[in-house]
A and B are shown apart, each in its own frame.
Chain A
Amino acid sequence: MTIKRPDKRKIDELRPIEAKAGVIKRADGSGWFKIGNTVAYAAVYGPKATHLRFLKSPDKGNLRCHYNMMPFSGAGDRVRPGGSRRSKEISKVMEDALSPVLNLDNFPNSIVEVYVELSQTDAGTRCAGICAASIALADAGIPMKDLVCAVAVGSIKGEVVIDLSKEEEDIGDAVDIPIAVIPSTGKITLLQMDGILKREDLKKALELGKAASSKIYEVQKKALKDKFKGGESK
């Protein structure tokens, strides 16, 4: 009993993925991640000094994420510029998704800022943002145990699937579960859910996401290594 997905993908099949590193030259590190029609840029500035008291920790550096959608990136209406409560929440969960792999012990009283911008969206934006941010952090030379791989899993018509498109998200009883995985340990650093799900389906969904993380890691890795083929780009 396998449902037919609108774009004919299998239930465990990701949309096509592409990634690049070093796309924003002024940043200390940058990444670009495309999954299906969702495109995310990420730029890292840091470690750098901050004047904001509440961001300074004497024992280690702090990570700050800023998630934003470009006004023309959405599938329907224009998105009004400036943050929304949604973008602020996504910024926070992104910080929690990326912090566990970072080692900022060597940067007391400083911050690492990550800016994620979506130029085109078709669901899975925070996950694409996390994937782009991981590339950017590695590109910036931030010490990290691993990259972070994120993808939205969920269910459509009672069937557990991976990487829902916007069209699939809009189907009646679809369940959307963005997750982020540390590929070397399989541990989950982001988990959110919209919808109603059976307990055993959750485990299935998380395993699906974990299995996909190694595929995503390979694409991220290649993006970083390609930057060095034939000398680094100008």
Chain B
Amino acid sequence: MSKLIAKDKDIVVPGEQLAQGMEFVPGYGTYREGDNVRASLMGVLYVDNRALKIIPVSGKYMPKRDDVVIGQVIDIMMSGWRVEFDCAYSAMLNVRDASSDFIRKDADLREYFNIGDYIMTKITNVTSQKLVDITMKAPGLRRLSGGRIIKVNTNKVPRIIGKQGSMVSLVKDATGCRINVGQNGLVWISGDIEQEIIAMEAIKEIENNSHIPGLTDKIKAFLEKRTGKKIESKPKESVQNDN
């Protein structure tokens, strides 16, 4: 007998029986065990006809090529800087990828990025052993100064950014803060202290309610209440990240 046992948008846990029957296709986060398709991750189940997949709600970031992430400089070496992104793998920022300026051999690298600095950087390569290369040579990439860094779960980043940046723009416009969201879940917020706190709370609200429908309206209401200002809905060309 072939049937779907769990429903679309259900929260499921590892081992849970999702469907019975050989015609179901086990996608991401699921696996086939005999006649059954079971979950291998905790998350939200998505059913598309016979294809099953799970979007996880937790888990550490996995470095991917072309991802723009926010990292922290933890060490300075002869050839560059070691950068961490709150995941199991750190990256090397080589001197030649650090700046469009020419950096002399005897330069003091601390003048460019010092230990503890947060940087907006792009992953250029990830080897099979998860060695990661990054670059600072692309538009928008820079040292982040001032403001604060908060951590959200990497799986919630798409929801926080929203379709074409609509969600993060909502928060930016309401609070007047500059906001950069790294794919790894680190978020930089900079503005008036009070507005930064509202932006931080709004982002936490999005993170905690990411799987609930009607989230945009909820966040809009939250922002209006906290800032005391009405938000006008207007079509806007949203850019994902500020310069």
Contacts and interface: CB of A to CB of B under 8 A. Distances in A.
A58 B14 contact: no
A147 B14 contact: yes
B60 interface: yes
Interface string B4-36: 000000010111110000000000010101001
Interface stretch (B187-195, B205-213, B223-231, B234-242): B205-213
A228 B41 contact: no
B14 to A, nearest CB: 4
Interface in A206-234: 217, 220-221, 224-225, 228, 231-234
Contacts of A143: 14, 29, 40-41
Nearest to A22: B58
Interface string A108-146: 111000000000000000000000000000111111111
Nearest to A222: B13
A147 to B, nearest CB: 5
B182 interface: no
B15 A49 contact: no
A140 B59 contact: yes
A75 B36 CA distance: 44
A232 B208 contact: yes
A146 B14 contact: yes
A2 interface: no
B168 to A, nearest CB: 19
A183 interface: yes
A184 to B, nearest CB: 5
B166 interface: no
Interface in B153-178: 155
Contacts of A138: 13-14, 42
Contacts of A228: 11, 57, 211
A46 interface: yes
Contact of A145 (B15, B42, B88, B208): B15
Given A140-B58, A231-B208, A147 B15 contact: yes
A132 B29 CA distance: 22
B233 interface: no
B41 to A, nearest CB: 6
Contact of A47 (B41, B88, B129): B88
A69 B62 CA distance: 34
Contacts of A145: 14-15, 31, 33, 38, 40
Nearest to A50: B88
A231 B213 CA distance: 11
Interface stretch (A7-15, A77-85, A99-107): A99-107
B129 A184 contact: no
B88 to A, nearest CB: 4
A234 B129 contact: no
9 contacts: A46-B88, A47-B88, A61-B88, A101-B14, A106-B62, A110-B89, A138-B14, A141-B59, A217-B15
**Which 10 A-B residue pairings sit nearest by Cβ, starting from the closest?**
A141-B59, A146-B15, A141-B58, A110-B88, A47-B88, A144-B14, A231-B209, A232-B208, A138-B42, A231-B208
Given A110-B89, A147-B15, A184-B36, 7 more contacts: A49-B90, A108-B129, A140-B58, A140-B59, A143-B29, A220-B13, A231-B208
